[in-house]
């Protein structure tokens, strides 16, 4: 397959928050990577999960479906979920879809960490 | 004067793009449309909406209408007018679109319960564009016609 | 021969033959080339080559008649991206002789017209007019994907 690798997913921890960095496009091709990263942080006992977006100029409805899948898991596992780093456009889309009811939307990582501390 | 009968308003400018039904190639339609919209003077947030709507329309055409058969084309027509941009996306219609799915409003509460969390595409197009119409293309495939107005 | 993969993954673009639309063609073709992992600097070369080819088609092949169209076909064949820019052939643009080099141009030999073609031939692996359909001029150029050496992947 010649297609460029459109999404890079990595995980790290900061102040008790499991951060999943998503750099690139979130489309149908992202499913395996995002689910794997989520399972990894969950198996490590994460209670607070932050999806930290970067350079995400393309998220589509297939990508949104993947994120809704994560919300389902987060609810099942009694974790808390937040997102950060989304462009204005995708913040709007997340609100339209209703994802904002299940995941706090923060401008950036710093703000998200502070936000998690408030509810911790 | 040209002896050819103009098929459209001479002030209209039409760009036609034909793409293989291969996921990922919707990016070509998104970038072409945003390049045109930028030159027409659309604001950045409207261009983002346009890109999302086009990506949904083109991926639908690839996945449903053309059943991901790369040899089948998706035809994107971009018609630039003085005050609006019309985007029409047509597939080669192996599978007609169920009319019911062009009008629904999905709810995230339901999606959380379902195995299939998708089904947001057409709804997003309706939310983001000023006019949306689902028709049959001259070729017999599915066609979605979307209009975005240029607000001054 | 059954439909090879390169035909299946080709794209076609049709534009009004009007200056300014080459900029949209650039963005479309760049997005296409990105699908095929062309490195960023090769995409920049491609964009420059494509705009020059479009401008030629608009100004010369179609003699600045805005009612005409310019067609662009792109496809990947192996490691090569092949681009064809086709006009409606109001005037033939294929130069009779090999393109002049910049020294000759500056020396005033030949018109500045054709500078675009010279630029394209330097940015691409192969460039030139080929037999087109329906009397149009068909300018074809190719870019071979260069693999990054020793950097990252």
In this structure, what CATH number is given to the domain that contains residue C68?
Answer: 3.30.565.10
Q: Each residue of B16-71: pLDDT tens digit?
A: 999 999 999 999 999 999 999 999 999 999 999 999 999 999 999 999 999 989 88
Q: Largest Cα–Cα distance of chain A, in whole Å?
A: 45
Q: Print the domain residue range for C106.
A: 10-144
Q: Print the domain residue range for B28.
A: 13-149
Q: Do A2 and C34 lie within an 8 Å CB cutoff?
A: no
Could you tell me which CATH number the domain at A7-119 has? 3.30.750.24
Q: Is C37 on the interface with A (CB under 8 A)?
A: yes
Residue B1 is assigned to a structural domain of this protein: no
What is the arithmetic mean of pLDDT over C111-133? 79
Confidence (pLDDT) at C96: 52
Q: Do B52 and A64 lie within an 8 Å CB cutoff?
A: no
Between B20 and C36, the more confident residue is B20
Residue A5's pLDDT band (cuts 50, 70, 90): low
Residue B2 is assigned to a structural domain of this protein: no
Confidence (pLDDT) at C2: 44
Residue B4's pLDDT band (cuts 50, 70, 90): very low
Residue C60 is assigned to a structural domain of this protein: yes
pTM of the entire predicted model: 0.87
Tell me the ipTM for this assembly.
Answer: 0.89
- CA dist B23 and A31 (Å) reads 14
Residue C39 is assigned to a structural domain of this protein: yes
Hey, which residues 1-30 in chain B have their CB within 8 Å of chain A?
23-24, 27, 30
- Domain ranges within chain A, ordered by starting residue: 7-119
Total of domains in chain C: 1
Query: Which parts of chain C are beta strand (E)?
Result: 11-16, 69-77, 80-86, 126-130, 138-144
Residue C21 is assigned to a structural domain of this protein: yes
Total of domains in chain B: 1
CATH at residue B122: 3.30.565.10
CA A113 to centroid of chain Cα atoms:
14
Q: Each residue of C75-115: pLDDT tens digit?
A: 998 889 999 999 998 877 655 555 556 666 555 555 555 67
A3: chain C residues, CB-CB within 8 Å:
35-37
Residue C151 is assigned to a structural domain of this protein: no
Residue C149 is assigned to a structural domain of this protein: no
Confidence (pLDDT) at C112: 52
Confidence (pLDDT) at A4: 52
C35: chain B residues, CB-CB within 8 Å:
24-25, 27-28
Residue B58 is assigned to a structural domain of this protein: yes
Residue C24 is assigned to a structural domain of this protein: yes
A4: chain C residues, CB-CB within 8 Å:
34-35, 37
Residues of A with CB under 8 A from a CB of B: 3, 6, 27-29, 58, 60-62, 64-66, 68-69, 71-72, 75, 87-89, 93, 96-99, 101-102
B65/chain C closest Cα distance in angstroms: 16
Residue B74 is assigned to a structural domain of this protein: yes
Residue C48 is assigned to a structural domain of this protein: yes
Least Cα distance to A22 among A106, A83, A111, A91 occurs for A83
């Amino acid at each position: 397959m010649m297609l460029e690798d459109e999404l890079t997913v990595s995980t790290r921890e900061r102040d008790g928050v499991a951060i999943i960095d998503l750099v690139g496009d979130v489309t149908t091709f992202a499913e395996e990577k995002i689910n794997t990263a989520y399972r990894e942080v969950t198996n490590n006992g994460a209670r607070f999960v932050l999806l930290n977006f970067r350079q995400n100029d393309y998220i589509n409805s297939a990508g949104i479906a993947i994120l809704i899948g994560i919300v389902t898991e987060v609810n099942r596992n009694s974790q808390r979920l937040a997102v950060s780093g989304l462009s204005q456009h995708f913040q709007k889309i997340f609100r339209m879809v209703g994802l904002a009811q299940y995941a706090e939307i923060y401008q950036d990582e710093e703000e998200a960490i502070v936000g998690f501390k408030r509810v911790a | 004067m040209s002896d050819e009968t103009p098929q459209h308003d001479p002030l209209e400018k039409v760009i036609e793009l034909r793409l293989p039904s291969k996921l990922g190639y919707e990016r070509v339609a998104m970038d072409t449309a945003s390049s045109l919209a930028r030159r027409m003077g659309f604001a950045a947030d409207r261009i983002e909406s346009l890109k999302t709507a086009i990506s949904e329309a083109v991926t639908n055409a690839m996945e449903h209408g053309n059943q991901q058969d790369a040899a089948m084309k998706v035809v994107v027509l971009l018609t630039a007018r003085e005050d609006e941009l019309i985007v029409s996306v047509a597939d080669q219609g192996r599978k007609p679109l169920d009319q019911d799915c062009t009008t629904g409003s999905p709810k995230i509460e339901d999606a959380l319960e379902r195995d299939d969390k998708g089904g947001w595409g057409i709804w997003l197009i309706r939310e983001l564009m000023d006019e949306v119409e689902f028709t049959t293309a001259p070729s017999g495939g599915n066609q979605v016609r979307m209009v975005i107005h240029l607000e001054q | 021969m059954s439909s090879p993969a390169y035909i299946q993954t080709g794209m076609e673009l049709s534009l009004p033959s009007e200056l300014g639309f080459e900029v949209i063609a650039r963005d479309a073709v760049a997005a296409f080339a990105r699908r095929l992992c062309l490195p960023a600097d090769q995409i920049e070369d491609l964009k420059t080559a494509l705009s020059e080819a479009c401008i030629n088609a608009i100004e010369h092949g179609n003699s600045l008649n805005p009612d005409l169209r310019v067609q662009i076909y792109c496809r990947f064949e192996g490691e090569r991206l092949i681009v064809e820019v086709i006009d409606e052939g109001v005037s033939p643009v294929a130069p009779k002789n090999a393109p002049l080099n910049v020294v000759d141009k500056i020396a005033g030999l030949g018109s500045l017209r054709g500078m675009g073609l010279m630029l394209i031939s330097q940015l691409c692996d192969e460039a030139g007019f080929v037999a087109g359909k329906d009397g149009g001029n068909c300018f074809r150029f190719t870019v071979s994907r260069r693999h990054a050496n020793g950097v990252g992947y």
